[in-house]
Amino acid sequence: FLSKKTKHHKPCKTLVLYFHDIIYNGKNTANATSAIVTAPPGYNLTILAGNFHLGNIAVLDDPITLDNNLHSKPVGQAQGLHMYDTKNTFTAWLGFSFVLNTTEYKGSINFIGADPTLVEERDISVVGGTGEFFMHRGIATIMTDTFEGEVYFRLRVDIKFYECW
């Protein structure tokens, strides 16, 4: 019987941020921070498609805050996309960057991965960064902190960097 030693890695840096997304619905032009840019046949660009939103792609430019208050001063923007890619459950594929520009945080953090939205805590990969986060890699545990229908959601993003340069 062979036992396998498990390595326990400690993060070299951690960070918790909140990502606020307000999807354009045809009526909220002033407040929207993301918009549907692709819809499946028979659907429009102001309402997410039925069938678990399969085929919708939304681009985002969402505020990032240090707490869960949408009206807190942003420390940066989440820029990228979420693509709904499954027809039998709520799942999205995410590709985005946190672009941070404050006295405390300067640089970008790049994320990519599947987001099974019905799972309470899910992980996506941190695949690099710039500035203070140059070549950082790790895992971001995301949790849906709140949502209001299909127009607003807030994610808590708990970032653990395991490779810091």
CATH of the domain at 83: 2.40.480.10
Torsion of CA 129, 130, 133, 136, to 10 degrees: 40
Whose structure tokens read 């992980």?
123
Domain extent, residue 109, equals: 18-163
Q: Report the C-alpha gap between 8 and 127 in whole angstroms.
A: 20
Residue 2 forms part of a structural domain:
no
pTM above 0.95? no
Q: Report the C-alpha gap between 32 and 150 in whole angstroms.
A: 12
Q: Report the C-alpha gap between 35 and 37 in whole angstroms.
A: 6
Residue 4 forms part of a structural domain:
no
Residue 97 forms part of a structural domain:
yes
User: What's the pLDDT score for residue 6?
Assistant: 52
Structure-block tokens of residue 19: 């990502």
* Structural domain total, the chain: 1
Residue-wise pLDDT for 96-155, tens only, equals 999 999 999 999 999 999 999 889 999 999 999 999 999 999 999 999 999 888 789 999
